[in-house]
Amino acid sequence: MESDVLQDSAAMNRLKRTKISSSADLVELAVAVQNACDIVNANTTTKLREVVEQMLVLKERALQILKEARLNAELHSAACNLIKKPGQIYYFYEKPCSGEKVLSLISPEEWGGRCPHSFFGAYRLQADQTWTPLEVSKHQQEVDTIVARLRSSDNPQFSNMLTADESHA
């Protein structure tokens, strides 16, 4: 039995080797190979585009991080006569003559137009010693307040909670 299978297999192999392909078969084979190569190239291009897009996003994020680091260093280097505490809002001014940054607890409104320096910006010092612009800090606080309400509610009514503070805006 086993020898019959081996003989049949050997006979088929001889037929395959001796069969002459027609030119149509060769063209069909060439077209199939070309189609496979086209598909592989298209897939490779798609994957590479995805990687390049991710690289560009990472590049932008890296540039943003470096910009924030320079600003944080600049704000920490500002002249001040007080101990900085996380969570506190500080106001930065720039001396017109020297361009030197000065840190203050006094807002531009509190100066009442008598401020001797140009206002640079208001920042909140974070626990990780980074500075967050006050506008961003206020937005973060709004988000944190809504999240706290959502988490503390047994049956949150999202639309009511999300619109509750809009009357104060």
The pLDDT of residue 135: 85
- What's the token pair of residue 2? 């086993």
The pLDDT of residue 18: 57
Asked if residue 140 belongs to a domain, the reply is: yes
The pLDDT of residue 15: 55
Question: Which residues are registered as beta bridge partners of 92?
Answer: 103, 121
In this structure, are 22 and 40 located in the same domain?
yes
In this structure, are 101 and 133 located in the same domain?
yes
In this structure, are 61 and 19 located in the same domain?
yes
The pLDDT of residue 24: 77
- Taking the model in full, what pTM does it have? 0.60
The pLDDT of residue 151: 83
Cα separation, 162 vs 145, whole angstroms: 10
Cα separation, 68 vs 108, whole angstroms: 24
Q: Please check whether residue 158 is in contact with residue 150, taking contact to mean a CB–CB distance below 8 angstroms.
A: yes
In this structure, are 101 and 158 located in the same domain?
yes
Cα separation, 83 vs 69, whole angstroms: 21
Residue 120: which domain range?
A: 79-168
In this structure, are 22 and 55 located in the same domain?
yes
Q: Which residues contact 84 (CB under 8 A, 6 or more apart)?
A: 90, 103, 125
Q: Please check whether residue 92 is in contact with residue 101, taking contact to mean a CB–CB distance below 8 angstroms.
A: yes
Q: Please check whether residue 148 is in contact with residue 142, taking contact to mean a CB–CB distance below 8 angstroms.
A: no
Nearest Cα residue to 110 out of 122, 101, 126, 100? 122
Say how many Å lie between the first and final Cα of the chain, rounded: 90
Q: What is the pLDDT along the chain (169 residues), one digit of tens a residue?
A: 566 655 666 655 665 555 566 777 888 999 999 999 999 999 999 999 999 999 999 999 999 999 999 999 999 999 999 999 999 999 999 998 898 999 999 999 999 888 889 999 999 999 999 999 988 877 888 888 888 888 886 655 655 655 655 555 4
In this structure, are 85 and 62 located in the same domain?
no
Alpha helices in the chain (DSSP H): 2-18, 23-76, 108-111, 134-152, 158-163
- For residue 132, give the amino acid letter: T
The count of structural domains within the chain is 2
